[in-house]
Amino acid sequence: MKPSPIKKTSVKQTPAKKTPSKNKSSKQWMREHVNDPFVQLAQKEGYRSRAAYKLLEIDAKDHLLKPGTVVVDLGATPGGWSQVAAAKVGRSGKVIALDLLPLDPLTGVDFLLGDFREDAVLKQLENLLQGKPVGLVISDMAPNISGVASADQARGFHLAELAMEFALQHLKQDGGFLVKVFQGAGFEDFLKLMRSRFVKVVSRKPKASRDRSSELYLLGIGKLEYRKLE
């Protein structure tokens, strides 16, 4: 299955006034982004984002996305992970994507706009599942960066805990949970928490993750006895 074409939109925005340091940083980021080989490859192969190659590499190693698998993608927009998942699980599988931001339609992906913690959104999810057990929950979510490292780190792990809570409630017993985290304060505590919830927990650092980034992916397989997180 080929990735769905990217739908281009044009949004007129008023340029924000930037300080010289911020402007320099933005230009540096843009140069790095444009020259990034995974960005170029994503554009060439029709993926929504370079993040697609992170999931492709992890799946090549851990074989998570089997035909027929039911996948829930938390924080899915712009859709790179959902594209990969839909192509891998095929028509016999199912991919349900959720996000607070809109997602341009993707072939083989059902999208829910809203917060996955809200009852109304969970009800829609249950209707889409039609009684099928969830085999894999994936989350590439990250908080909006404030620039305060300690606060951003704490918010990142809060998102990871929310995603894990969701996974523990909806995964089948031998299902998998893949989540993005950031090394630093709170990492060891979250790793310990995951190990108390899953039979097997491993870490992955795909090549598409930039070297300077502290991001890491934790994969939990097989639920232990479920207990609601405090």
Q: Which tens digit of pLDDT belongs to each residue from 155-178?
A: 889 999 999 999 999 999 999 999
Distance CA 3, CA 124 (A): 25
Catalytic amino acids? Answer: 180
**DSSP letter, residue 15:** P
pLDDT digits (tens, 9 = 90+) for 117-133: 999 999 999 999 998 99
| Token pair of 172 as six digits | 């089948």
23 C-beta neighbours (distance < 10 Å), count: 11
pLDDT at 48: 87
Q: Do you know the residue count of the chain?
A: 230
Closest CA to 159 of 177, 140, 136: 140
Closest CA to 213 of 181, 190, 189: 181
Are the C-beta atoms of 129 and 96 separated by less than 8 Å?
A: yes
Greater confidence (132 vs 45) lies with 132
Q: How far from the centroid of its chain's Cα atoms is residue 111's Cα? A: 14
